[in-house]
Structure 1
């Protein structure tokens, strides 16, 4: 298991290849990459993502461990960026490896739902209309409630 909270961009292809290497006993590798999208409140200039170092890594490590306990996973990778990101930049990546695809897909969805609704990050959108903190969305909480 690897969890990384970082400011620097990551190389999706290299991370995926490194994660998949050595997974000879696993029949499925699932990856998901989140990308900064434009805002509904105006043209997004930048997404500012803040976190508390130490606390965030611990929380993400705990949830990755929870995924390993709930599903039969061989490995888990979670990368989440912080700092100032522009539309189109990769913001996060989740990868899961399992003997069977169902476990890999479900665990990846569980991790993504957690990251979207509960991970300790604070996001502020800077648009051509001003600056606003991103509020929690009911649909994200609903998605997490199924787990």
Structure 2
């Protein structure tokens, strides 16, 4: 039986009016997302609740139906974790949106809507800005 494939997207910050998003894929009763620990399977929307108290209330989570897949979550993780290993996260080049794009393509042959990665693409175009410095700024816990 095909399983519904959903993308969850939460606005996490804005830079010069351009939103940045955290995205993940929901397949069956699990959410799959990528962070510094690698590919994570959790209850649906788990990663979107993390840090919620630090975000402005108007930053909502959007859930988008992207079709169906015959693949299982186990197959998704087995196929993609080699590309999204623990410690390989980079806020601009290999982040949650890159994982969601790859996962969505693996599951449905569709790509993640470009609006969810617009800010990263704009910032990458301004390199050689120091990616490491930007990683530290965006990953730092506020006081």
TM-score normalised to the size of structure 2? 0.31
Q: Which has the higher strand share?
A: 1
Of structures 1 and 2, the one with the larger relative CO (CA 8 A, separation 6+) is 1
Q: Return the index of the structure with the highest Cα Rg.
A: 1
